[in-house]
Amino acid sequence: MKDLFEKDITGSIGLQKYLCTITWRNGQILMDEPENVGGKDLGPDPFTALLASLASCTLSTLRMYIDRKQWIIPEIYISLNLQQETGGELSTTIKRNISFSSEITLEQKERLLVIAEKCPISKLLKGKISINTTL
């Protein structure tokens, strides 16, 4: 299987509790934990970053489809949240709500719901994931 990225995404952490620097091909982002768990909230926490990835992928996928169909939908909005149950096996539910700046038809709504599910991050999160860790 071929890597998706030419260069690995890398990260590091120093002595400041929970403050991580994540580097990708053209930049860096700081990630941190909220103050209520000991961080300084200097960047998104891992759960926020995960939901942000799903949000941006969903929005971009919908925009590409809407533009290709030449539908007049100027703005797309999304809100996401996450619920977890830890009793026994971990169960996670992501709530994703999509809305638009203008009215859309029932046909458009039904089609855009299908397209939202086809965004690559949606498919990744719903698929089988293996994490191979080395030291």
**pLDDT tens digits, one per residue of 46-99:** 999 999 999 999 999 999 999 999 999 999 999 999 999 988 888 999 999 999
**pLDDT tens digits, one per residue of 12-32:** 999 999 999 999 999 999 999
pLDDT band, residue 135 (cuts 50/70/90): very high
Domain ranges of the chain: 1-43, 46-126
Contacts of 51 (CB under 8 A, 6+ apart): 80, 81, 82, 94
pTM assigned to the model: 0.91
Instruction: Report the pLDDT value the prediction gives residue 86, as an integer from 0 to 100.
Output: 83
CATH annotation of 46-126: 3.30.300.20
Please, where are the H alpha helices in the chain? Answer: 46-69, 106-117, 120-126
Contact 39, 19 (CB under 8 A): yes
pLDDT band, residue 2 (cuts 50/70/90): very high
